[in-house]
Amino acid sequence: MRFSEIFRLVWLNLSQNKFKVILTSIGIVVGSATIMMVLAIGTGGKMEVAEQFKNLNAGAIDISYEGGNSGFGFNMGGGRGAGSGNGSFGGSNSGRMLSGGGMPSGGGMPFGGGMPSGGGMPAMPSGGGIPFGGGMPSTGEGFPFGEMFGESQVNEEVILTYDDAETLLTFVPGITDATISYSTTTSVEGGDLEDASYYTVAGVLHNYATISNLELAIGDFLTEDDNDNKEKVCVLGANVANAIFGNAYSAYNNTLYIDNRSYVVAGVLTEMGSVASGISPDTAIYVPYNTGVKYITGNSISPIVTVIAEDVTQVESVMQNVETELKESYPNTTFTISDAGSKMDAASASNETLSLLLVSMAVIVFIVGGIGIMNVLFVSVKERTNEIGILKAIGCSRKAILLEFLLEASCTSFVGALIGVMLSLAITPLVELLSVRVELSVGGAILSLLFGVITGSIFGFYPAYKASRLVPVVALNQE
């Protein structure tokens, strides 16, 4: 019997039992829709992660000091005091006073096991606000001096400077670039603004744009000269430019007032979307580091030094070297050191775990759906035993009967899978209402169709095989 004719018979049978086909394939409908949504949500999640971290360089390591102090009165530190003691950038650097040289090195004892940037860091992509900082007392075990001599908390205020960044760039191997930045919130006027509004103002250096993957829609980023001469220029994030001037073109070369001082807009960034870490570029105003310190913040800043590891796979060891290097300069201070890569990894990993969970769910749904198909086909074979008998009596081969029933199963599940794909298209807007990003793809649709048909065919095989093995005379006499 020709395949096309078997297919015609299958079509005839299915088209006359449409309702039964739909009922049979409900398991496959749900399974396919699940697979499609799982893939779409998985892809959406990945893209979300990628977008949220697009302002992060994979090799970026942030170093910040967030107040508090973990030092103890007894300073075991030592090191290259003179080396790190050269001129401070932003302002006072009183902390340096404590890092006197000449003391016997205690092998970093005050920090004992209390290294704050360990495994806990990558937990969430919540950015710089990781509460380890100096606030966490390093209760290094086996550190008897504290009790012996009594703890004397010294609130040394450490303000990282560009020199620290340069020190790291010079002394830590495997670092290609280093920058320093801070952010504050201050009042801004000008343009279309009727009242003063508060915006995030970030003091940055010329290389910040490259390090944070910022792109300019118009104009140029801040230059080294801007910083050296403390020029009152700024670069606006896309949303800021739109809010204050209507659009990027109007903003360019226009003037706005930050903390009542006029600044010329040197450039406007392209829109970046929401980001998971650091300063959100769309809503920030970038000014030269020194300009900001001089006119806006004074010395009350807590800057972040960002260094870029040359080799992304070496981030861990670079972080360790950074910590060791910093300890030389600030033996009593614990810095928060975090790397962008591990934040990305953590976010990707949690996303993948979720995807895996959803895929497992889809597989279970498919198995249940497949068993459903098998049951209905068994009933169908039973119901149509007489028909199978007639077909056998008039010379239908086992192969043709097997193929007919198998094709019926495959077609039924194909219909189910198709309905499933359409269902997932229909429910996508609902899922998106729940703030879940869904990225439907043709590949996902094909895969779920394929999975549906394969499941139906696998589970349809046994009933089809049973049908093909019926003895003609027995089948024919079955009522």
Partner 1 sequence: MKSINKGYMLGEQKLPILKDISFSVERGEYVAILGPSGSGKTTLMNIIGCMDVMDSGEYYLDGMPIHETLEDDLTEVRNRKIGFIFQNYQLIPTYNVMQNIVMPLLMRGLTYEEAEQQCIETVRLLGLEERIAHKPSELSGGQKQRVSIARALVGHPSILLADEPTGALDQASGKDVLKLFRQLNEMGNTIVMITHDLNVAQSAKRIVRIVDGKLIE
Residues forming contacts to partner 1 in the complex (CB under 8 A) are 1-2, 4-5, 8-9, 12-13, 16-17, 386-387, 389-398, 400, 472-473, 476
Distance of CA 396 to the CA centre of its chain: 59
Nearer to partner 1 by C-beta: 17 or 184? 17
DSSP 135-204: TS----TT-THHHHH------------HHHHHHHHHHSTTEEEEEEEEEEEEEEEETT-SS-EEEEEEEE
Minimum distance, C-beta of residue 453 to partner 1, in the bound complex (Å)? 23
Assess contact for 158 and 336: CB atoms under 8 A: no
User: How many CB atoms within 10 Å of residue 145?
Assistant: 17
Minimum distance, C-beta of residue 384 to partner 1, in the bound complex (Å)? 9
333: DSSP letter: -
Question: What are the tokens at 141?
Answer: 């075990």
Question: What are the tokens at 26?
Answer: 């409900």
User: What SS3 state is found at 268?
Assistant: strand
Nearer to partner 1 by C-beta: 394 or 442? 394
Alpha helix locations (H) across 330-397? 340-383, 385-393
Nearer to partner 1 by C-beta: 353 or 397? 397
Minimum distance, C-beta of residue 477 to partner 1, in the bound complex (Å)? 9
- Taking the chain, what is the end-to-end CA distance rounded to the nearest angstrom? 26
Minimum distance, C-beta of residue 462 to partner 1, in the bound complex (Å)? 20
Minimum distance, C-beta of residue 354 to partner 1, in the bound complex (Å)? 47
User: How many CB atoms within 10 Å of residue 291?
Assistant: 22
Alpha carbon dihedral 447, 452, 457, 458, in 10-degree steps, equals 90
Nearer to partner 1 by C-beta: 389 or 420? 389
Nearer to partner 1 by C-beta: 148 or 394? 394
Nearer to partner 1 by C-beta: 17 or 213? 17
Of 295, 173, 193, 175, nearest in space to 234 by CA: 295
Residue 60 pairs with which residues in a beta bridge? 308
Minimum distance, C-beta of residue 21 to partner 1, in the bound complex (Å)? 13
Nearer to partner 1 by C-beta: 1 or 454? 1
Nearer to partner 1 by C-beta: 6 or 121? 6
Minimum distance, C-beta of residue 393 to partner 1, in the bound complex (Å)? 5
Phi/psi of residue 158, nearest 5 degrees: -105, 125
311: DSSP letter: S
Minimum distance, C-beta of residue 48 to partner 1, in the bound complex (Å)? 51
